Amino acid sequence: MPEKTAKKNQGAFDKVILVAVLGLIGMGLVMVYSASSAMAVKIYGSDTYFFKRQLFFALTGLVFLFSVRYIPYRVYQVLAYPILGLSVLLLGLLLVPGIGVNVGGATRWMRVGPINIQPAEIMRLAIIIYMAYSLTKKGEKMKDFSVGIVPHLFLMGLIGGLFYFQPDFGSFAMLVFVIGIMLFAGGAHIGHLGGLVALAGLVGFKLLMSEGYRRNRIAAFLNPWENQMGDGYQITHSLMAFGTGGYSGVGVGNGYQKLFYLPEPHTDFIFSVLGEEMGLIGVGIVVGLFALLVWRGLAIAQRAPAGFARLLAFGITTSIGLQACLNMAVTTNLLPTKGLALPFISYGGSSLLINMISIGILENIAYAHPASPGARAPFFGRLVFWKRRAVA
Amino acid sequence: MYDITSREVWTEWCRQRVTYAMLLIAVAFGVLGLRLVYLQVFQGERLHQLSENNAIRLESLDPTRGRIMDSRGEILADNRPRFDICLIPRDAKPRDAILPLLASLLEMDQAEIEKKIGKAASFKPVLIKGDVGRDVLGIVEARRYELPGVVVRVKPQRHFPGQGTTAHIVGYLSEISLDELRSGSYPNRKPGDFIGKYGVEKEFESYLAGRHGGRQVEADARGRTVRIMDTVPPKPGANVFLTLDMRLQKKAEALLDGRPGAIVAVEADTGRILAMVSSPTYDPNLFVDGMTQKQWNELIRDPDHPLENKAIHGGYAPGSTFKMITAMAGLEEGKIDSHTEYNCSGRLKFGDRYFRCWRHWGHGTLEVTEAIAQSCDVFFYKVGLEVGVDKIAEYARGCGLGQVTGLGLGNESPGVVPDKAWKRRVYNKPWYQGETLSVAIGQGANLTTPLQMALFAAAIGNGGSLYSPIMVDRVESPEGDVIQTFSPAVRRKLPASKANLELIRDGMWGAVNGSRGTARGICSESLAISGKTGTAQVVGRKDRDKFLNELTDKIKYQDHAWFIAYAPREDCKIAVAVFIKHGGHGTACAPLARDIIKEYLDGKNPPGAKDASAPAETPENLDETDLQDRE
């Protein structure tokens, strides 16, 4: 692309992504207040305790988003290793007694001043950056098993070990998904990947069955109504919430089910509270906004030059999209219960900040590689069939 | 598989794989969307039912409604326990033994009970008799072992201890209607809930209602609660403190003694309402406890309209209490001054008609102060003609008439201030000069509310500030923290200069304290009352006399009686408007106003022992009025 044209189009945000993100955060704030107020009164004596914190993180996140947008994304390519190293260090620090905060048998947060940091969230972004860097470096050599797969498998093992001790199965599964899909996009051999998936399936199954609480969750997933008093508790109430919501919901603040989620309705199961209070309309808006975000994000990836930029945009977009899908699938009992937040909506500062920084990076890529004037927006059919023929 | 040999091919390949990933995510979103539609639309009803009938049930916990109190904390509305006798059909065995016993204890027909049980779900309590007294409750409780399946349900029920005294302000609750449920204005409500329908109960519903809580219970196969799993306590409603002073309110109610009318007393320099009584009144408990068709018919067919708050809903001709406005217009427009004298011969010829003064033998020569004090009609006919109806209307509006005061109690009537444009608009007819004469003395199409007149009197009393009325002093959380307060606000200044206002004040002073004042009967040195009587004709004077002589249903044609007053003259504290429908002459109202003022000022500065002044307060000991004439 001639330098001139590129310059001309620079300086523009991808407004669609921005609107989608702000819309999700706005709905998130409303739902965090609605879902948490009863509990916040019970624990902290103030119904706005969680809301205020989330609002603070959202505003801070906006500052980050708009600042990061101006940092050239190539910086991350250079800093890929330091960022990864720092994240591993943070994750490792959790294991040092006295630093990690133990909540409900899991050590996932560390306390820094008045806020809790969740290193797993930072790790997710670090992994995306590292994978984009690594895949770009390896390029066409990705087809070799020893180059394309082994190093990443090794990394996965290291991080998996750290997560194992927390334990945080959900975040680890999320990272495995992200690494896997980035390997796929980065040109790894399909046969290798297939073998890996099979292997991961086996290991996953073994892991699931090794811990009693996970086994019970699977049973609860398959037969929630029969395990209603035990592990099916959350999921049956989640389903009842969706059912009660119907088309238009019972109105914000009027949901019943949120009063009884254990332990907290404003994090992993906020989507079902939203389903009860805003009904199919609200749920549809959320799914739509996520779809919009993913579509625009992947469009940025498509038009960015091959290599780091494309893979980074791809990784950021798919990780957010996947996590949203997984969370929503869990709340609707399409997948077994797993501790995963709904991006931008669930309560949680680390997650919100990291996601907004990620969007900032995505916006910078969009800004550096604007759509060529007059170019059509990428269209699924055209890309899939037409481009493939061209290559073949 | 493609053979990756070069960077370019790798690049293109990546591009394609991104597209595949896009497809994958699109499919994932599609599946999610379908799942949600399935859950929320196709399974919605079933899941909703499950949430209600499941072994794990959610029960709503209703909050206690906030209380309503007067300014000194006397309770005007609170909650009492209500006992319902219910029966769980499944547990009531053997039914042949239980039903006859229950019927006899509740003094009901057995068939009636059987009808109520009907085909109701077997594990849900069926209401057999609602709100039983403690005596019945005691009997049922005592024989509980003979009555398996019979349960007593306790619910809080709104209760108005003062019954009718504050009914028109506090208002009442009743069951939420289907339309209200659908309107979306009452999000947390379900059928059978009670909501404020009128008065403070309605206007402060959001404060009083509180927030519902819930309880999660585990039920056994018979639907009985086995275990309470978790409880989110309901949040009680906030308490509302009115500006009312119940001493004055009760006094005012006693003074009106059921005669149709209204008394409004306001704090002169704040607009805070100290008393607002509309008579006759009704018992708001009827709306909560339920009333029979007969009781309802009696309420709505009563010719004195007990449900109507006469202090703000009704518009009534103000009669001579309007003369201050005519005087103000004349003075301010320069048509008269303090020395302008008119002669009253008892009537004024205008066109081919005579307009009479109430004193048909005439007042002689008067200036404005005395004209107010003696309420000379002819003087104000002449002023009215000089000023013209449009100017009078302008000043009336400047004094707060013809517009709602903003009390915020719903359905407030603005009254009517007639002028040429009004007549053109409403009747599509030109204005006749003769009508100006009627308007100048507060007759004709003039309509005001007692609240408007009380605030007007307060404005004269405090030196010209027309306040917005305040009815609620503050709202407090159940813990006693003040959530909201309401502070006085001046709506506008009376359109009168200080000197002219002083003339009007002199006139009102003279009406009570002058030797020829129309209300000299209530003159009291210690109270320093200024006031003005008003007598508003319901029908023409000739017709009235004819009707009064000939008809048995006399009362309908009696004049309306008004008295507005403020006191003390300097550093004014309280203003009162007394209105008695068909009360005859305005002087009938004056002693009532005097007693209210006395009660209030004595309460402010207790003159030694309070009891000492008590005997003098009974209406029977008052100066000669036509109180007795009415009987």
ipTM field: 0.85
Q: How far apart are CA A356 and CA A24, in angstroms?
A: 11
**Does the beta-carbon distance from B17 to A332 stay under 8 Å?**
no
Residue B614 touches chain A, beta carbons under 8 Å = no
Summarised one tens digit per residue, pLDDT across range A44-89 is 777 888 899 999 999 999 999 999 998 999 999 999 999 999 999 9
Residue A314 touches chain B, beta carbons under 8 Å = yes
Backbone angles phi and psi of A96, in degrees to 5 = -75, 125
Mean pLDDT in residue range B439-445: 89
**Does the beta-carbon distance from B14 to A187 stay under 8 Å?**
yes
Residue that wins the pLDDT comparison between A217 and B196: B196
- The H or E element containing residue A326 is helix A308-331
Please give the tally of structural domains in chain B.
Answer: 3
Tracing tokens 């002087």 back to the chain, one arrives at B587
Biggest distance spanned by C-alpha atoms of chain B? 126
Whose CA is closest to B578, among B454, B459, B469?
B454
**Does the beta-carbon distance from B213 to A287 stay under 8 Å?**
no
Backbone angles phi and psi of B213, in degrees to 5 = -115, -165
Which of A43, A383, A387 is the best substitution to test chain B (most B C-beta atoms within 10 A)? A383
Biggest distance spanned by C-alpha atoms of chain A? 66
**Does the beta-carbon distance from B51 to A256 stay under 8 Å?**
yes
pLDDT classification of A321: cutoffs 50, 70, 90: very high
Mean pLDDT in residue range A128-135: 92
**Does the beta-carbon distance from A314 to B21 stay under 8 Å?**
yes
Q: How far apart are CA B390 and CA B374, in angstroms?
A: 25
Q: How far is CA B301 from the centre of its chain?
A: 20
For residue B81, the model assigns a pLDDT of: 85
CA-to-CA dists, residue B183 to A254, B177, B209, angstroms:
15, 10, 17
Q: Is the pLDDT of residue B212 over 60?
A: yes
Mean pLDDT in residue range A10-16: 72
Crossing angle of helices A349-368 and A270-303, rounded to 10°: 20
Domain of B515, CATH number, reads: 3.40.710.10
A16's CB contacts (< 8 A; 6+ apart) are: A292, A296
Q: Is the pLDDT of residue B383 over 70?
A: yes
For residue B380, is it within any domain? yes
All structural domains of chain A with their residue ranges: 3-391
Q: Is the pLDDT of residue A166 over 70?
A: yes
Which of B5, B32, B35, B50 is the best substitution to test chain A (most A C-beta atoms within 10 A)? B32
Q: Which of residues 200-229 of B touch A (CB under 8 A)?
A: 213-214, 216, 218, 229
Q: List helix spans (H) across B337-403.
A: 368-374, 377-387, 389-398
Same domain, B167 and B199: yes
Q: Is the pLDDT of residue B226 over 80?
A: no
Instruction: Return the number of CB contacts < 8 Å for A and B.
Output: 189
Q: How far apart are CA B454 and CA B503, in angstroms?
A: 19
What percent of chain A clears pLDDT 90, i.e. is strictly above it?
A: 32
For residue B129, is it within any domain? yes
Q: Measure CB to CB from residue B32 to each of A142, A251, A287 and give the nearest one.
A: A287
For residue B549, the model assigns a pLDDT of: 55
Same domain, B138 and B250: no
Q: Is the pLDDT of residue B568 over 60?
A: yes
Residue A243 touches chain B, beta carbons under 8 Å = yes
A380, B19 Cβ separation under 8 angstroms: yes
Q: Is the pLDDT of residue B627 over 60?
A: no
CA torsion, ordered B89, B91, B95, B100, to nearest 10 deg: -80
Summarised one tens digit per residue, pLDDT across range B124-149 is 677 888 888 888 888 888 887 788 87
For residue B539, the model assigns a pLDDT of: 64
Q: Is the pLDDT of residue B624 over 70?
A: no
Q: Is the pLDDT of residue B65 over 70?
A: yes
Q: Which two tokens stand for residue B515?
A: 């030797």
* Residues across chain A: 392
**Does the beta-carbon distance from B51 to A140 stay under 8 Å?**
no
CA torsion, ordered B415, B419, B423, B425, to nearest 10 deg: -80
What percent of chain B clears pLDDT 70, i.e. is strictly above it?
A: 87
Same domain, B338 and B440: yes
**Does the beta-carbon distance from A187 to B10 stay under 8 Å?**
yes
Q: Which two tokens stand for residue B31?
A: 């599946």
Summarised one tens digit per residue, pLDDT across range A279-299 is 999 999 999 999 999 989 988
For residue A228, the model assigns a pLDDT of: 65
For residue B124, the model assigns a pLDDT of: 67
Mean pLDDT in residue range B46-56: 68
**Does the beta-carbon distance from B39 to A247 stay under 8 Å?**
no
CA-to-CA dists, residue B521 to B106, B154, B322, B517, B518, angstroms:
58, 56, 21, 9, 8
Same domain, B15 and B81: no
> Where are any strands of DSSP class E within B538-589?
560-567, 574-580
> Where are any strands of DSSP class E within B220-372?
225-232, 239-242, 261-267, 273-279, 342-344, 347-350, 353-356, 364-366
Same domain, B193 and B331: no
The catalytic residue among B174, B278, B279, B320 is: B320
> Taking phi first (over 0 means left), then psi (-120 to 50 degrees means alpha), and beta for anything else, what does residue A379 get?
beta
Same domain, B123 and B227: yes
**Does the beta-carbon distance from B232 to A246 stay under 8 Å?**
no
Residue B266's SS3 state is strand
Q: Measure CB to CB from residue B16 to each of A239, A279, A388 and give the nearest one.
A: A388
Mean pLDDT in residue range B172-185: 80
Other beta carbons within 10 Å of A370: 20
Q: Per mean pLDDT, which of A163-167, A386-390, B130-134, B398-402 is the most reliable?
A: B398-402
Question: Vertex A229, ends A223 and A233: CA angle to 5°?
Answer: 70
For residue B565, is it within any domain? yes
Which of A312, A328, A379, A389 is the best substitution to test chain B (most B C-beta atoms within 10 A)? A328
Same domain, B403 and B552: yes
CA torsion, ordered B240, B243, B244, B246, to nearest 10 deg: 70
**B-chain residues near A298 (CB < 8 A):** 18, 21-22, 25
> For residue B321, what is the DSSP state?
G
Taking CA–CA distances from B217, the nearest residue in chain A reads A260
Helix/strand/coil percentages in chain A, nearest 5:
70, 5, 25
Q: How far apart are CA B339 and CA B503, in angstroms?
A: 11
**A-chain residues near B187 (CB < 8 A):** 251, 253-254
For residue B87, is it within any domain? yes
Same domain, B322 and B454: yes
**Does the beta-carbon distance from A280 to B37 stay under 8 Å?**
yes
Q: Which of residues 178-217 of A touch B (CB under 8 A)?
A: 181, 184-187, 189-191
Q: Measure CB to CB from residue A391 to each of B12, B184, B218 and give the nearest one.
A: B12
For residue B302, is it within any domain? no
- The H or E element containing residue B248 is helix B246-256
Which of B2, B7, B10, B49 is the best substitution to test chain A (most A C-beta atoms within 10 A)? B10
Summarised one tens digit per residue, pLDDT across range B16-34 is 888 888 888 889 899 999 9
Q: Which of residues 362-391 of A touch B (CB under 8 A)?
A: 380, 383-384, 387-388, 390-391
Q: How far apart are CA A70 and CA A11, in angstroms?
A: 9
A308's CB contacts (< 8 A; 6+ apart) are: A73, A74, A77, A132, A133, A136
Same domain, B257 and B174: no
> Where are any strands of DSSP class E within chain A?
100-103, 106-112, 115-117
B70, B117 Cβ separation under 8 angstroms: no
Q: How far apart are CA B266 and CA B456, in angstroms?
A: 10
Which range marks the domain in which residue B178 is found?
Answer: 59-238
Å between B187 CA and nearest CA of chain A: 7
Q: Measure CB to CB from residue B29 to each of A181, A325, A387 and give the nearest one.
A: A325
Residue A120's SS3 state is helix
Taking CA–CA distances from B60, the nearest residue in chain A reads A256
> For residue B360, what is the DSSP state?
T
Tracing tokens 């006397």 back to the chain, one arrives at B74
Concerning whether B320 is annotated as a catalytic residue, the answer is: yes
CA-to-CA dists, residue A301 to A317, A366, B17, B332, angstroms:
9, 8, 11, 80
Of A9-23, A145-159, B70-84, B298-312, minimum mean pLDDT range: A9-23
B491, B406 Cβ separation under 8 angstroms: yes
**Does the beta-carbon distance from A240 to B51 stay under 8 Å?**
yes
A84, A175 Cβ separation under 8 angstroms: no
Q: How far apart are CA B341 and CA B348, in angstroms?
A: 15
For residue A316, the model assigns a pLDDT of: 95
Q: How far apart are CA B31 and CA A87, in angstroms?
A: 34
For residue B546, the model assigns a pLDDT of: 57
For residue B544, the model assigns a pLDDT of: 55
A92, A163 Cβ separation under 8 angstroms: no
Backbone angles phi and psi of A179, in degrees to 5 = -60, -45
Same domain, B572 and B518: yes
Same domain, B577 and B624: yes
Crossing angle of helices B323-332 and B498-513, rounded to 10°: 150
Same domain, B35 and B75: no
Tracing tokens 């799942």 back to the chain, one arrives at B35
pLDDT classification of B556: cutoffs 50, 70, 90: low
Å between B183 CA and nearest CA of chain A: 12
Residue B46 touches chain A, beta carbons under 8 Å = yes
Other beta carbons within 10 Å of A99: 15
Summarised one tens digit per residue, pLDDT across range B267-289 is 999 999 999 999 899 998 888 88
Q: Is the pLDDT of residue B359 over 90?
A: no
Mean pLDDT in residue range B220-241: 75
Tracing tokens 């409900």 back to the chain, one arrives at A104
Q: How far apart are CA B418 and CA B396, in angstroms?
A: 10
Q: Is the pLDDT of residue A313 over 90?
A: yes
Sign of CA dihedral B91, B97, B101, B103: positive
Q: Is the pLDDT of residue B301 over 50?
A: yes
B49, B119 Cβ separation under 8 angstroms: no
